[in-house]
Every structure is written in structure tokens, then in C-alpha cells.
Amino acid sequence: MFLASWRLFLTATAIGIVIDLPLEPLFLLTGVFAYPVGYPPLTLFAGHWYQLPLLEVLSASLVLVTPVLVLRSIDRTRRIPWLFTTSSSARTPARPLTRLLAGVGLANVVICAYLLSNVAIAELGGQFPGDMPSYLW
């Protein structure tokens, strides 16, 4: 079970990277957002407004995609997913709302972890790009 979980973890991470890698340049070149700093040795086009920190691609895969997929896969033997175990015992009309709040809470934890990982990557250093367009400030 443990080895299968690690294989699933690595596969999910690789799939997340393959999905995120083409999307990031699309977001950067359309001006949706920019990464003002990144660790220069692991950043594509370092020093430009369209730089892409490769650590961010890895963190997006590790933090956004992989944990939920791995937890759900490990939890396949249960009739009710782990996220909804508490709400499954409730027999009130609030049960669907409780499940919705559990999902929203999980999404908030995942997004918070992702944003904190971006802050940690930015703290590794790098120089603010001199050619940053004014609309991205």
C-alpha cells in the first residue's frame, strides 16, 4: 500500500507539472499575472517580466493537485470520502450545507498552502524585473 501511494504521488505530481507547464506561459504572456521574483538558477527568462520560476510549477503540482488526488485514492475503500465522514452521521436538512462547507474549507486550506509556497519561493531571492509593464504593478 505504501509503495503504491508513493507511485501515485509521483504520477500525480508529474501529471500536474505537465498540465501546469503550458498554462503558466499562457497566463504570463496575456498579462493575467506575473512572478516579480524567482530563484534565478531555476527560473526561465530570469530578470524579465515574463519570467517563470520552475519551483512555482512544482509547487502548483505538489500543493494544488497531488494531495487531494492521493488522499482520495487512498480513501477508495470507504463508502464515504474522508472529507464527509462527519456530515454523513447528521440526519438534518443542514447536511448538504455541511458538506459544501467541508469542501470549501479544504479548498481554502489548499489555496492558502499554495500561496504560502509562492511566498517562500519569492523569498529565495532574485531581482525585480526592470521591464515590468505598468499594468502589472
> What is d(CA 103, CA 30) in angstroms, rounded to the nearest whole number?
31
Query: What's the pTM value of the predicted model, to 2 decimals?
Result: 0.77
SS3 70: helix
pLDDT string in tens for the chain (137-residue length):
556 678 888 888 898 899 888 998 898 888 888 888 888 899 888 888 888 899 999 999 888 888 777 777 766 777 777 677 776 677 778 778 888 888 898 889 989 999 999 888 888 877 888 888 887 76
